Chain A
Amino acid sequence: MKQPVNISTSEDIAYKLKVLAQEKENVRRKLVVTARQLAVTAREKESARRKLVITASKLKKLYETLEKKVFDRTKDLAQLRSRSEAILASVGDGLVVVNKEGRINYINKSFEEMLGWKAKEVLGKSMVQVVPREDIHGTKVSFKERILTQVLSGEKFVADLTNPFYYIRKDTSRFPTSSIVAPVTLDGKIVGAVEVFRDITKEKEIDKAKTEFVSLASHQLRTPLSTVNWYSEMLLSGDAGKVTSTQKKYLEEIYRGNQRMVELVNTLLDVSRIELGTLVVESKPTNIIKLIESVIDEQKPQILEKMIAFTSSFQKTIPLMKADQKLLRMVVQNILSNAIKYTPDKGKVNISLTLDETKTILLKISDSGYGIPKNQQHKIFTKLFRADNVIGKDTEGTGLGLYIAKSIVEQGGGKIWFTSDENKGSTFYVTLPLVKKKKDGYRRSFLAPLT
């Protein structure tokens, strides 16, 4: 189809104008819409700006509060810190805090005064190295055996109050110490430890004075005891004329009672000698089996009287050993006489002696006796302690025998322990090391191998 060329008529023009007007109207409308949109956006912007202003002021306020809080907290902490430091500084006991490697983080004033070290000299150094520890015999305690090392390796909290030891000062002098070590834990892990220690020179002096008093009193008691002994002995042998059978009986009671007192005094003297360290140790080549057999012979009357089924077994290969016979005898005698004393008539007692590969002699004495009540077993080696269940049955015990036995065995480097069931019996074990260790030769001098 062909377009008419000359169509430009007025109708056409009017039509075109109409179209144009329409387009113009459309553009205007769009402009109006856009303008409205812009107005909205502007409003939104304004509101956002206002919000920002508010937030900024809030932030400023928060910041100021925080600043104050931090300030207050720092003040609190500083106060707390100075208070803690004042407490630690005023504590009379020495105090040291170490990290998990055992290096010193903190020491208090008493530490400085007691050991002669200044904080700046020891911070960051190993506590175990800075402050060596010696036992009562002057033997250095090894790194592994230090309680601090043990606590840091998680081997439980240790209070070392029973075994006295010495701390060495910067000037190499020493003082007796008692210490408590506690681990510092964070989330269940050990991150360090705190040790508190005390100079126990005074306590030791008092203890020594007490022992010396017991020793002196015991010596003094012996003179009147001898008088009673000798005069009742003379009356009994008729030196002052014939005595009637009743008089004889009474005199024998006096004599026996006095003998018991003499024995008690002698035992007290032994205890004070052990405690004062004045016990003279004389080591001689000893056949321990023969020694035990002679102790058994001594106990024969009691064994027979109580009709006790007594058995013994000794390993034949036990060599001669260098030992103080009097002391060794006291150990065997105390345990064996207990076994017999605390076993009812017709009971069983066994003694055996073996030697193991580590050259340790094991002495075992078991009985079928009264046993030691469970709740009193921890006290059985305590001086003057006697278990409830035997106090009524036997009046002759002093409560000193096992204390003496333990002191002797431990001074000789051995160990003593027991197992016991009430009304079934007890078994006591004693180990006597034959191998003399170089490091603490002093302690084992009375139980040394015969070379």
Chain B
Amino acid sequence: MPLSKNKKTILVIEDERPLAHAIQTKLEQHDFIVITARTVNQGLDYLENVKVIDAIWLDHYLPGEKTGLDFVAELKSSGSKWKDLPIFIVSNTASSGNVKSYLRLGVSKYCVKAEHRLDQIVIDLQDFLNTTE
């Protein structure tokens, strides 16, 4: 296994390149291993093949037909092997309806990009993973 045992791996699904780059940089600074995907299907593909993913950082609107909501619905469906994987939604399209749907599906956290500091979201994720360990 090339991936280090101590480091946690985060799958970041974000289509805006500058944002994805910033997220990756910040997460790596905090000792995470980062895999980035731009679409729901790419994300599902990585999940299936990389296997050691510890948490998911997910945007809502993504290119292609599926949104973050479809992705979460698939992961949380009965019989899914990723049912217990923590998911952080980091999006700017925070319609109350969407937020509710995400929380009902069982995501760990929902935050609005424009209203949070990047390092704060990373620290929240870190804390979350440490307490659930």
Q: Please give the residue numbers on chain A whose beta carbons come within 8 Å of chain B beta carbons, in ascending order.
A: 219, 222-223, 225-227, 229-231, 233-234, 237, 239, 262, 265-266, 278-280
Contact B18 A231 (CB under 8 A): yes
- Alpha-carbon distance A384/B111, docked complex (angstroms): 28
Judge whether B65 is part of the interface by a CB distance below 8 angstroms: no
Contact A234 B18 (CB under 8 A): no
Given A230-B118, A262-B114, A262-B115, CB of A223 within 8 Å of CB of B25:
no
Contact B22 A231 (CB under 8 A): yes
- Alpha-carbon distance A219/B92, docked complex (angstroms): 7
- Alpha-carbon distance A279/B50, docked complex (angstroms): 41
Given A234-B26, A278-B95, 15 new contacts (CB under 8 A) = A219-B92, A222-B92, A225-B114, A226-B114, A227-B22, A229-B114, A230-B26, A230-B113, A230-B118, A231-B18, A231-B22, A234-B25, A234-B118, A278-B96, A280-B97
Contact A226 B113 (CB under 8 A): yes
Contact A280 B100 (CB under 8 A): yes
A-B contact pairs, 15 of them (CB 8 A): A219-B93, A222-B112, A223-B16, A223-B19, A223-B92, A223-B113, A226-B114, A229-B118, A230-B19, A233-B118, A262-B114, A265-B114, A278-B95, A278-B96, A280-B97
Q: Given A226, A233, A239, which contacts B19 in the complex, CB threshold below 8 Å? A: A226
Residues of chain A lying within 8 A (CB to CB) of residue B97? 278, 280
Judge whether B77 is part of the interface by a CB distance below 8 angstroms: no
Contact A227 B119 (CB under 8 A): no
- Alpha-carbon distance A227/B118, docked complex (angstroms): 10
Instruction: For the complex formed, measure the closest distance between the CB of B100 and the CB atoms of chain A, giving whole angstroms.
Output: 7
B117 to chain A: closest residue by CB: A233
Instruction: For the complex formed, measure the closest distance between the CB of A257 and the CB atoms of chain B, giving whole angstroms.
Output: 14
B18, B97, B114 — which one has the most chain A CB atoms within 10 A of its CB?
B114
The 4 closest A-B pairs by CB, nearest first: A280-B96, A222-B92, A226-B113, A230-B118
Residues of chain A lying within 8 A (CB to CB) of residue B115? 262, 266
The number of residues on chain B lying at the interface, defined by a beta carbon within 8 Å of a beta carbon of chain A, is 20
Contact A237 B119 (CB under 8 A): yes
**Complex interface residues of chain B between 8 and 30 (CB less than 8 A to chain A):** 16, 18-19, 22, 25-26, 29
Residues of chain B lying within 8 A (CB to CB) of residue A229? 113-114, 117-118
- Alpha-carbon distance A223/B96, docked complex (angstroms): 18
Residues of chain B lying within 8 A (CB to CB) of residue A226? 19, 92, 113-114
- Alpha-carbon distance A225/B18, docked complex (angstroms): 12
Contact B119 A233 (CB under 8 A): yes
Residues of chain A lying within 8 A (CB to CB) of residue B16? 223, 227
**Complex interface residues of chain B between 55 and 110 (CB less than 8 A to chain A):** 92-93, 95-97, 100
Contact A266 B96 (CB under 8 A): no
Residues of chain A lying within 8 A (CB to CB) of residue B93? 219, 222
Contact A279 B96 (CB under 8 A): yes
A222, A230, A266 — which one has the most chain B CB atoms within 10 A of its CB?
A230
Instruction: For the complex formed, measure the closest distance between the CB of B119 and the CB atoms of chain A, giving whole angstroms.
Output: 7
- Alpha-carbon distance A239/B16, docked complex (angstroms): 20
B29 to chain A: closest residue by CB: A239
Given A265-B114, A280-B100, CB of A227 within 8 Å of CB of B92:
no
Residues of chain B lying within 8 A (CB to CB) of residue A225? 114
Contact A227 B26 (CB under 8 A): no
- Alpha-carbon distance A444/B64, docked complex (angstroms): 42
B118 to chain A: closest residue by CB: A230
- Alpha-carbon distance A237/B113, docked complex (angstroms): 18
Instruction: For the complex formed, measure the closest distance between the CB of A192 and the CB atoms of chain B, giving whole angstroms.
Output: 49
Residues of chain B lying within 8 A (CB to CB) of residue A219? 92-93
Contact B95 A227 (CB under 8 A): no
B59 to chain A: closest residue by CB: A223
- Alpha-carbon distance A266/B115, docked complex (angstroms): 9
Contact B96 A230 (CB under 8 A): no
Residues of chain A lying within 8 A (CB to CB) of residue B112? 222
Residues of chain B lying within 8 A (CB to CB) of residue A234? 22, 25-26, 118
- Alpha-carbon distance A137/B95, docked complex (angstroms): 22
Residues of chain B lying within 8 A (CB to CB) of residue A279? 96
A262 to chain B: closest residue by CB: B114
Residues of chain B lying within 8 A (CB to CB) of residue A222? 92-93, 112-114
- Alpha-carbon distance A266/B116, docked complex (angstroms): 13
Residues of chain A lying within 8 A (CB to CB) of residue B114? 222, 225-226, 229, 262, 265-266
Given A225-B114, A262-B115, A265-B114, CB of A230 within 8 Å of CB of B95:
no
B26 to chain A: closest residue by CB: A234
A231 to chain B: closest residue by CB: B22
Instruction: For the complex formed, measure the closest distance between the CB of B115 and the CB atoms of chain A, giving whole angstroms.
Output: 7
- Alpha-carbon distance A52/B100, docked complex (angstroms): 103
Contact B19 A227 (CB under 8 A): yes
Residues of chain B lying within 8 A (CB to CB) of residue A233? 117-119
Residues of chain A lying within 8 A (CB to CB) of residue B119? 233, 237
Residues of chain A lying within 8 A (CB to CB) of residue B118? 229-230, 233-234
A220 to chain B: closest residue by CB: B92
Residues of chain B lying within 8 A (CB to CB) of residue A231? 18, 22
B92 to chain A: closest residue by CB: A222
